[in-house]
Amino acid sequence: VIPGWFSEISSMWPGEAHSLKVEKILFQGKSEYQNIMVFQSSTYGKVLVLDGVIQLTERDECAYQEMITHLPLCSIPNPKKVLVIGGGDGGVLREIARHSSVEKIDICEIDSMVVDVSKQYFPDVAVGYEDPRVTLTVGDGVAFLKNVPEGMYDAIIVDSSDPIGPAQELFEKPFFASVAKALRPGGVLCTQAESIWLHMDIIEDIVANCRQIFKGSVNYAWTTVPTYPSGMIGFMLCSTEGPPVDFKHPVNPLDENECQKSARPLKFYNSEVCSPNHLLFIQHLSVCHHL
Ligand code: AAT
């Protein structure tokens, strides 16, 4: 450990630890679920850390939040009801709010301290909560989904931490089954699905589970996030049986002119990044096994 630097050390990425220079620690606390820290870095703005793992930095959060949101929402016509599991910082809410067809945005985050800390230290991210379509439930996403009426949502976005700690069940088959049930026919799931450089074992399990449960299509996409382990992170993009969804050819493009004129322009996503650059076909994923 280098004095004055934060190093992201975890058994989930043994033998490597990305480091950021710390200017100042702004917050340190312990919630019911995890240790929470916010620090000012020299080059990535403020950084949110849960149990020693970076959740976001001000500089590169766009590449994650925009992709996890617009990959699914641009792939279906007229999304109206959207659910977010995790994502307590509010960044995914901010991105969903760009879609004018959306009428209802529900979020279930387990840890209210993440919400409070984000509102205090990351106003440009937590701004997502200010949208009147948003309803926050503080609770476990697994339990929340059990009470959702069948076919309720057009899209579900699982912005989850890694599968060590409170997010473990969000990577398991029963959870995917309850997601599928909560989606309408032809509805879409996008879930945080780790890095092909570190976690092919986890990804292969997720792919196998999703293939059994999602009878529409099952895809893996990725984006670059320099402060996430290995500098990239993936998403599982699935649809339920019903009107077919082709994630490679989004039918519901964002009005990019409109977005660029808004108070917070898009920084990373555009309809070209979507296909084919950031979608890896499952066949190609099995090649990645040799990485
Ligand atoms: N958008 C920033 C990135 C995140 S946040 C993940 C969130 O998931 C955290 O706020 C955490 O409290 C919440 N969470 C964890 N488990 C659950 C659960 N069971 N139900 C609801 N919310 C939960 C993801 C960062 C990815 C890091 C990659 N290394």
Give the distance (Å) from ligand 1 centre to CA of residue 198.
19
pLDDT at residue number 64: 96
Ligand 1 atom index nearest CA of 55:
25
Q: Is the beta carbon of 109 within 6 A of some atom in ligand 1? A: yes
CA distance 174 to 216: 18
Give the distance (Å) from ligand 1 centre to CA of residue 243.
30
pLDDT at residue number 2: 87
Task: Return per-residue pLDDT of the chain as tens, 291 residues.
Answer: 789 999 999 999 999 999 999 999 999 999 999 999 999 999 999 999 999 999 999 999 999 999 999 999 999 999 999 999 999 999 999 999 999 999 999 999 999 999 999 999 999 999 999 999 999 999 999 999 999 999 999 999 999 999 988 999 999 999 999 999 999 999 999 999 999 999 999 999 999 999 999 999 999 999 999 999 999 999 999 999 999 999 988 899 998 888 888 889 999 888 777 655 667 666 567 777 777
pLDDT at residue number 145: 97
Q: What is the ipTM of this complex?
A: 0.98
Buried b (16+ CB within 10 A) or exposed e, 246-281: ebbebebebeeeebeeeeeebebbeeebbeeebbbe
Query: Which residue's CA is the closest to the ligand 1 atom numbered 10?
Result: 88
Q: Is the beta carbon of 72 within 6 A of some atom in ligand 1? A: no
Helix, strand, or coil (residue 29): strand
Query: Which residue's CA is the closest to the ligand 1 atom numbered 13?
Result: 86
pLDDT at residue number 159: 98
**Residue 196 CA to its chain's centroid (Å):** 16
- Cβ neighbour number for residue 141 with a 10 Å cutoff: 28
Query: Which residue's CA is the closest to the ligand 1 atom numbered 22?
Result: 86
Q: Is the beta carbon of 114 within 6 A of some atom in ligand 1? A: yes
Catalytic residue annotation: 159
Among 110, 116, 192, which residue has the most ligand 1 atoms within 8 Å of its CB, making it the best to mutate?
110
CA distance 133 to 37: 29
pLDDT at residue number 53: 97
CA distance 146 to 182: 9
Pair 72, 83: CB distance under 8 Å: no
Q: Is the beta carbon of 159 within 6 A of some atom in ligand 1? A: yes
Pair 105, 96: CB distance under 8 Å: yes
Q: Is the beta carbon of 140 within 6 A of some atom in ligand 1? A: yes
Tokens linked to 181: 């049930």
Give this prediction's pTM.
0.96
pLDDT at residue number 282: 65
Q: Is the beta carbon of 91 within 6 A of some atom in ligand 1? A: yes
CA distance 43 to 256: 28
Q: Is the beta carbon of 87 within 6 A of some atom in ligand 1? A: yes
